[in-house]
Chain A
Amino acid sequence: MAGGAGCWLMEFLSGSEMIAKGAMAAGCRAFFGYPITPASEIMELMAEDLPKAGGIFRQMEDEIAASAASIGASWAGVKAMTATSGPGFSLIQENIGMATMLEIPLVVVDAQRMGPSTGVPTVGSQQDLMQAIWGRHGDQLPLVLCPSSFGELYTMTIEAFNLAEMLRTPVILLTDGHLANLRSSVSIDQAYEVVDRKVLDAKDATAPFQTDESLVPGFPPLGKGFNVLLDTLSHDERGYPTSSAGKTERLLVRLREKIVRSIDKIWMREQSGVNDSKEIVVSYGSSAIAARRAVDMARSQGKKVGLLVMKTMWPLDERAMKQILNGKQRIIVVEQALGQLAWLIRPFAGESEVVSITSLGRPPRPKKVEQVILNEA
């Protein structure tokens, strides 16, 4: 889903505004939220923008209600989103699992802050990566997208909606307080492609979970007499609850396979100088800004070093990851967490040495990364 052919608008915006504008451009017409630092601004912006576009906004009693109401709105046919930060993200896990099982498109923004529990609300981090991937009970494959530049806050919000609608599944847009609170002048691609959900055909209403080769069932519209039951219980192709091992396995495998099958569309990354260097810097999110700069600085001094900036954190294209990382002498991981990204890439690193640069409490400094690349640290 590449960008459209140029209808650019220059603006001076905050990161939260980029996400809100991206959501509106993607066709989001329902937002339910609960105040939390540093994600509140996204909610405040949606509260202004949505009613003007005929959309729905409500501040709810907690994040559980916010995510549940978003699911209700999406069930009723509109693109829906909620945005939160760490403590709220913990509460929302339940309903990310619900959206997975009900196959309801949903976008959840987590503007990460630092530390467990209340932590440091005003400081960004990248400490929710593992929670985004693994935070819920039961086998499931969430999509975790992570904007790695200011501009991508906008485009990847649209990608998040596109993938949620295309695959009938929740998508987590993982960003952080640093990016959300940043202000920058930026060009916005106003012609970015937008995807809408496939609607269930009336003739398929008696077996609404029977699918074509995409494995993604059409979405049942309300009020047309389709009488489709969406059930959080394990269910068969009619949507009826079942505890049968065979039917449950079929459902869980399909929920996984429909996503794996689209890995080419899902897995986004940026890479440079990967093939002709023995060393590579791997980063993502707001840390990638320093990683890019450090690699540029090292290269300008004649150092051969590759760069991988991951934009889809889950699921991974395992084959591509192996091709990029395997056989490197040294993999330098740059992140704002105590080794979560390092842990994520280790299975693909083979015999390579993995060097972790962690920066807690502020984005990593390019100079420090450069020193590690040049073995000066």
Chain B
Amino acid sequence: MRPDSSPLRHLREDRLPTMWCTGCGNGAVMSAFLGAVDDAKLDMKMIAVVSGIGCSGRIGGYIKADSIHVAHGRALPVALGAKLTRPDLTVVAFMGDGDAYSIGGNHLLHAARRDDDVKAFVINNMVFGMTGGQQSPTTPSSVIEGPLLARSPKPLDGPTLCAVLGASYVARWSTADFMELRNSMKTALTTRGFCLVEALSQCPVQFGKRVTRDPLGLMKWIKDRTIRVDDAVSKRTTEGKMLVGEFTKGGKGLRPELGELIGG
């Protein structure tokens, strides 16, 4: 018997096990979210969950909440419509990198610009996983091979974009930074305005084809390619790595010390 305080009580147990592959990071992100809801002392009854399409979009179907699994890329406008109608609810949108940064990119831009009071949780596995491992806007150019799409000079950096546009709170962590991820999700859940928390997550099956299919090995590969905001600031360089940490607080734009680092 699990204790009644376990975050698992927030799941639709009749839908378990999930459809996610062994070693997938989605479970960790979902778990961080459930923990964050409890940390923030929110009543799950008053949370409305919107999710997009792809493996990440299945989260809404596993959480025992009022939830809606919408069309690819459209989680943010659906979430805005619900939030404006029911301001008493906390409305969260789970998206993948395809949802948030590719097909739904325009919605993200404007949700951040308008500072819509919606909590966006992006699971960035840097690949189109469900459809077979195609390149996404966040696939690092170092792992792109073959003729499918031209090698992008620079992957899209969603957190920087949203911070620059004036989102109220923006953070990024990898699934290896579980507690930090959970804490940032709590901050997002308790901050007014547009909040985006991106989780760099491992897809051992599809992204793994490009690096390693070993889930732990892939988590480490991702973690090795991140640098904490404070470290980057004190070293005055990102070392070409992805920043993890808080990009903005209080909707004042990208933290000035990060602007220099990213610009350079």
Contacts and interface: CB of A to CB of B under 8 A. Distances in A.
Contact of A61 (B15, B64, B110): B110
B81 A68 contact: yes
Nearest to A69: B81
Given A69-B77, A72-B82, A76-B85, A102 B68 contact: yes
A230 interface: yes
Nearest to A104: B68
B81 A229 contact: no
Given A61-B110, A73-B85, A229 B61 contact: yes
Nearest to B66: A222
B89 interface: yes
B74 interface: yes
A131 interface: no
Q: Is the interface of A mostly helix, strand, loop or mixed?
A: mixed
A204 to B, nearest CB: 15
Interface string B62-78: 00111111110010111
Interface string A30-69: 1010000000000000000000000010101110111011
Interface in B45-74: 45-46, 48, 50, 53, 58, 60-61, 64-71, 74
Sorting the interface of chain B by its residue count into under 10, 10 to 19, 20 to 34 or 35 or more gives: 35 or more
B77 A64 contact: yes
B12, B68, B70: which has the most chain A beta carbons within 10 Å?
A: B68
Nearest to A72: B81
A61 B70 contact: no
Q: Is the interface of B mostly helix, strand, loop or mixed?
A: helix
A149 B82 CA distance: 35
Contacts of A80: 81
B77 A223 contact: no
A71 B69 CA distance: 12
A94 B86 CA distance: 25
Nearest to B85: A76
Contacts of B69: 229-233, 241
A220 interface: yes
Given A227-B65, A231-B61, A232-B69, A75 B81 contact: yes
Nearest to B86: A76
A226 B66 CA distance: 7
A65 B106 contact: yes
A65 B86 contact: no
Given A68-B78, A224-B45, A230-B69, A56 B84 contact: yes
B66 A220 contact: yes
Given A61-B110, A65-B107, A75 B84 contact: no
A72 B77 contact: yes
Interface in B1-57: 12, 15, 45-46, 48, 50, 53
A228 B107 contact: no
Contacts of B76: 65
A231 B240 CA distance: 40
Interface of A: 29-30, 32, 56, 58, 60-62, 64-66, 68-78, 80, 94-95, 97-98, 102, 220, 222-233, 240-241
Given A69-B81, A229-B12, A229-B69, 6 more contacts: A30-B85, A70-B81, A72-B78, A74-B81, A80-B81, A227-B64
Can you list the 3 inter-chain pairs with the closest CB atoms, starting with the nearest?
A72-B81, A76-B85, A69-B81
14 contacts: A32-B81, A64-B74, A65-B107, A69-B78, A69-B81, A71-B81, A72-B82, A76-B48, A76-B86, A102-B70, A227-B67, A232-B71, A241-B58, A241-B69
